[in-house]
Amino acid sequence: MRANVETVRALVRRAMNEITRVPGAAIPGVLAPTIFFLGLTAVFGNLTLLPGFDSESYQSFLVPVSMMQGAAFTGAATGVNLARDIEAGWFDRLLSSPAPRPVLLAGLVLSASLRSLIPATFLLIVALAVGAHWPGLLGLIVAYAVTMMMAVVAATWGTSLALKFRTQSAAPLMQVGMLLLVLTTTAYAPLDLLSGWLQEVARVNPVTQVVEAARQGFVGDVTWADTWPGLLALAGLAAVFTFFALRGMRRMTIN
Amino acid sequence: MIERLVANARVVAALGARSVKQTARRPQLAAPLVIFPTALLAIQTGGAGRAVDLPEFPPVESFLAFMLAGAMVQSVMLAGNSGGIALALDIEMGFTDRLFAAPISRFGVVLGRLAGTAALGAMIALWFVAIGLIFGVEFEEGVAGVLWIVVLVSASSLAFGGIGAAIALKSGKASVVQGLFPLVFVILFLSTAFFPANLMLEPAASVAEYNPLSFIVEGIREPIVAEFQLADQLEAVAAILGIGLFGIALSWVALRARARTGG
């Protein structure tokens, strides 16, 4: 048990070292959600004038979506980094170590979860500076917790694709897949104001519950009734993608 | 003189065809041009489609009709970026050095890449026109309007490709050109690509009024949602020419520097 914890800690430390040693590689992942946030609020900010829009501030409405985007990018980056490690042969060395494969996965996923706090915090500072509502301490805790869990979902998704394709060329699939999952929700407008197919998709997309859970504090009060569906959706998504990632790990042979 | 021109034209055509094939064969180059803008078009149309109910929204048949031009411009900007990445990869692998050592015009090598980007632009225009037709958009200016859209989008692609090529030639690194990806969206958000300027928030609304990209978008959008206005089309052409000449001039300077210093 202690050895497993040490392995996870070492993998997390390695992921954090990448940020301090190659900051240039981390900058796009940190900046992209903020750029999207600022751009989308500038472009679609007046959607709040539509009858039935349940927030006066589009900045407040959009912050949690951009936090989820940041988590999705961070998780996808974990998949891309793993594909790079597979291509370079470094992952073979990890596999030949006595560390159990679920422990290796835990290290990758936990590092993504912690790294997702960086774009989320940067975004939050910018968002509050340009007029987003302060979500309150409870709202903030819920938003951060949901962001970290979303990063776990994205990291297991990215990891399972990296283990399947074993090449960095699969990066667009990792990024676009997660981005679609986040954007086909109530990302741009409340459910009743979405049109056509998107309304139907958003209604059944589990990430809609995730976005709504993270959004609560920014547009109103935090309630357990609006929180648990998001947590349940995250747990379900994480379970499904973890299954595929673990299966990929088990099928991986040392070259 | 004529023989030399014909030889250079052949080089440009061959390298242009190579550029198109390269993009088609590498999913990491092709996917951002088609999948991402198409997905974003679908999501934004569904997510912000009710914007047409806002009192000051210009009269359009549907939000999809309004958004098509923005999706095309987004796609060609990404095509310019992808072309730059591909050129930088050629530089990193030494392929460009081999071409420079051959008895052909060095600028022909760059023009070949830009010709390929322009051809991709035409394909992008046809792709989005097809999407529009499938989902019920009626192009106000008919076939002539569609043909004009293809010309404008293809020329825009070449113009943005010039800037991508210049950065690739200057840096010689694919990662540097790839790092410009977020900048594409900054420029897009500060234009009328996704929303009318009068309904955008400040300061983006004011920037969008003068952003050359807005003139290009409006030129492409006009045949879809309204009748041709010569003044709007001339503004679009002027914006494309301005960006194109700027990009080609930058490429020429970067090429000369690369030839002089060897990288």
Residue B221's pLDDT band, with cuts at 50, 70 and 90, is very high
Measured between CA atoms, the residue of chain A closest to residue B188 is A39
| A39 interface with B at CB cutoff 8 Å | yes
Q: Classify residue B173 by its DSSP letter.
A: -
Give the per-residue pLDDT at A22. Answer: 66
CB proximity A99 to B under 8 Å: no
- Whether residues A188 and B189 touch (CB distance < 8 A) is answered with no
Handedness of CA B214, A70, A92, A240 (dihedral sign): negative
pLDDT beyond 70 at B27: no
B182/A32 CB distance under 8 A: yes
C-alpha dist (Å) from residue A125 to A34, A48, A130, A144: 10, 22, 9, 13
Q: How far is B209 from chain A (nearest CA, A)?
A: 13
Most confident of A96-105, A136-145, A187-196: A136-145
Interface contact flag, B182 A28, Cβ < 8 Å: yes
Q: What is the pLDDT of residue B213?
A: 92
- A contacts of B53 (beta carbons < 8 Å): 50
Q: Do A47 and B51 touch (CB under 8 A)?
A: yes
Type of residue numbered A255: N
The larger pLDDT score, comparing residue A40 to residue B31, is at: A40
- B50 and A36 within 8 Å at the Cβ level: the answer is no
Contact A43 B204 (CB under 8 A): yes
pLDDT digits (tens, 9 = 90+) for A198-254: 899 999 999 999 999 999 999 988 899 989 999 999 999 999 999 999 888 888 776
CB B153 within 8 A of CB B71: no
- Residue corresponding to tokens 């569609």: B146
Average pLDDT over residues B123-136: 92
- A112-168 tens-digit pLDDT: 888 889 999 999 999 999 989 999 999 999 999 999 999 999 999 998 988 888 777
DSSP letter assigned to residue B244:
H
Task: Assess whether the previous peptide bond of B203 is cis (omega < 30° from 0).
Answer: yes
- B50, B81, B214, best to mutate vs chain A, most A CBs in 10 Å: B50
pLDDT at A224: 93
Residue of chain B nearest A30, judged by CA positions:
B182
Q: Contact B216/B156 with Cβ under 8 angstroms?
A: yes
Contact at CB, A188 and B43, closer than 8 angstroms: yes
Q: Which of B28, B182, B200 sits opposite A43 (nearest CB)?
A: B200
Q: Which residue has the tokens 């992209």?
A: A32
Please give the Cα distance from B206 to B193 (Å, whole number).
Answer: 14
Q: Nearest residue of A to residue B36 by CA position? A: A176
B189:A42 CB<8 A: yes
* Residue of chain B minimizing CA distance to A183: B43
Whether B185 and A194 lie within 8 Å, measured CB to CB? no
Cα separation of B25 and B50, whole Å? 38
The 10s digit of each residue's pLDDT in B87-121 is 888 788 788 778 777 777 777 777 888 888 888 89
The reported pLDDT for the residue numbered A254 is 61
Domain positions in chain B are 2-261
Q: What is the pLDDT of residues A83-96, one digit of tens each?
A: 887 877 887 887 88
To the nearest whole Å, the CA of A98 is away from the closest chain B CA by 35
ipTM above 0.95, yes or no: no
For residues A109 and A91, give the distance between their C-alpha atoms in angstroms, rounded to a whole number.
15
More confident site: B171 or A148: A148
Rounded CA gap, A114 and B46, in Å?
33
Check B43 against A193: CB less than 8 A apart.
Answer: no
* Mean pLDDT score of chain A: 86
CA of A159: how far to CAs of A247, A255, B103, B210, in Å? 11, 19, 48, 44
Do the chains contact at A47 and B50, CB–CB below 8 Å?
yes
Q: Whole-angstrom Cα distance, residue A33 to residue A116? A: 11
Measured CA to CA, the distance from residue A39 to residue A66 in angstroms comes to 11
Mean pLDDT of the region A183-190: 90
Distance CA A130, CA A139 (A): 19
User: Region A87-114: what's the mean pLDDT?
Assistant: 82
- Whether residue A195 and residue B45 make contact (CB cut-off 8 A), yes or no, is yes
d(C-alpha A31, C-alpha B184), whole Å: 13
Q: Is the pLDDT of residue B68 over 80?
A: yes
DSSP B59: P
Residues 6+ apart with CB under 8 A from B237: B152, B155, B219
* A44 part of contact set with chain B, CB < 8 Å: yes
Q: In terms of CA atoms, which chain B residue is nearest residue A57?
A: B201
What mean pLDDT comes out for the span B115-134?
Answer: 91
Tokens of B250: 């930058």
Q: What is the DSSP string of A35-47?
A: HHHHHHHHHHGGG
Name every residue whose Cβ is closer than 8 Å to that of residue B170 and which is 6 or more positions away in sequence.
B250, B254, B257, B258
Closest CA to A183 of B55, B193, B47: B47
Name the nearest CA neighbour of A69 among A168, A171, A222, A184: A184
Q: In the structure encoding, which two tokens stand for residue A120, read together? A: 């989320």
Q: In whole angstroms, how far apart are CA A36 and each of A139, A183, A206, B190?
A: 22, 12, 22, 12
Q: Which residue, among A31, A38, A43, would best test binding to B if mutated, counting the most B CBs under 10 Å from its CB?
A: A43
- Is residue B66 less than 8 Å (CB to CB) from chain A? no
**Residue A47 to residue B36, Cβ atoms within 8 A:** no
Q: Is A98 on the interface with B (CB under 8 A)?
A: no
Chain B interface includes A103 (CB < 8 A) = no
Q: What is the pLDDT of residue A255?
A: 60
Among B50, B188, B205, select the one facing A189 at the smallest CB separation: B50
pLDDT score recorded for residue B30 = 72
Is residue A21 predicted with pLDDT exceeding 80? Answer: no
Banded model confidence at residue B36, pLDDT cuts 50, 70, 90: confident
Mean pLDDT of chain B: 86
Instruction: Work out the end-to-end distance of chain A between its first and last CA atoms, rounded to an integer number of angstroms.
Output: 28
Domain locations in chain A? Answer: 2-251
DSSP for residue B58: P
The shortest CB-CB distance from A180 to any of B39, B194, B195 is to B39
Question: Under DSSP, is residue B26 helix (H, G, I), strand (E, B) or coil?
Answer: coil
Does the beta-carbon distance from A172 to B27 stay under 8 Å? yes
- The answer to whether the CB atoms of A46 and B185 lie below 8 A apart is no
